[in-house]
Amino acid sequence: AQSVTQPDIHITVSEGASLELRCNYSYGATPYLFWYVQSPGQGLQLLLKYFSGDTLVQGIKGFEAEFKRSQSSFNLRKPSVHWSDAAEYFCAVGAMYTGNQFYFGTGTSLTVIP
């Protein structure tokens, strides 16, 4: 069965520090991978996506993610966190054979300390 795991429910980092949010997936084939961010009271905003090609993808707001097939992971990184990055982050996966629907992880809540 398909599954997405975000092991960290909550992460706290200091402003200016680096950030890595973990995402692991279970799929039978190479999935399509996404990271979304949700601010309080807002919908989801796409940060970046991976379909194929270069395994290191760049997104908006200075985020990047690396697809590692051997580890079934798609971790999100940012070298220097800003206070405005405080939000909920969701990893999502999908594949054509699942009927083109997304499966989301349970999310990681990020707190940024000044």
* 45 forms part of the interface with another protein (CB under 8 A): yes
Query: What track of x and - describes contact with another protein for positions 51 through 90 (by CB under 8 A)?
Result: x--------------------------------------x
* 49 forms part of the interface with another protein (CB under 8 A): yes
* 101 forms part of the interface with another protein (CB under 8 A): yes
* 105 forms part of the interface with another protein (CB under 8 A): yes
* 40 forms part of the interface with another protein (CB under 8 A): no
CA distance 102 to 10: 22
- Count the site residues for another protein by CB under 8 A: 24
* Amino acid present at 62: G
Interface with another protein (CB under 8 A): 32, 36, 41-46, 49, 51, 90, 92, 94-96, 99-107
